[in-house]
Amino acid sequence: AQTVTQSQPEMSVQEAETVTLSCTYDTSENNYYLFWYKQPPSRQMILVIRQEAYKQQNATENRFSVNFQKAAKSFSLKISDSQLGDTAMYFCAFMPYSGAGSYQLTFGKGTKLSVIP
């Protein structure tokens, strides 16, 4: 079974500043996907960024980038130039690449991010 741990229940950042959200995970799988999802007050879950474990290059999507350390099983999210619209709950999630459970997203408990004007 996989576990995903987010050790920061809440964080805040000044508008236009940079913030990093932490995530660690535990798995015996070698191939898998990692994700960061954003859940704003509207509650709709929105995919922010996806990383495939076999790719060494860190994924980036505009102001969002990850630091993927496979050996350390660490997957942090960096948000640059924070905007008020980034205020949301952020979930780190894991999905095996194949086999049992390969349709299941395992989520961490989330980090509530507040962007302060």
Query: Which residues sit at the interface with other proteins, rule CB under 8 A?
Result: 33, 35, 42-47, 50, 52, 91, 95, 102-105, 107-110
Q: Whose Cβ is closer to other proteins: residue 33's or residue 63's? A: 33
Sign of the four-CA dihedral 90, 35, 57, 67 = positive
Q: Whose Cβ is closer to other proteins: residue 27's or residue 80's? A: 27
The tokens describing 59, both together, are 């994924």
CB of 9 to other proteins, least distance (A): 9
CA 2/CA 32 separation, integer angstroms: 11
The CA–CA distances, whole Å, from 30 to 17, 25, 61, 76 equal 35, 13, 24, 19
CB of 48 to other proteins, least distance (A): 12
CB of 112 to other proteins, least distance (A): 9
The tokens describing 116, both together, are 């302060």
CB of 52 to other proteins, least distance (A): 8
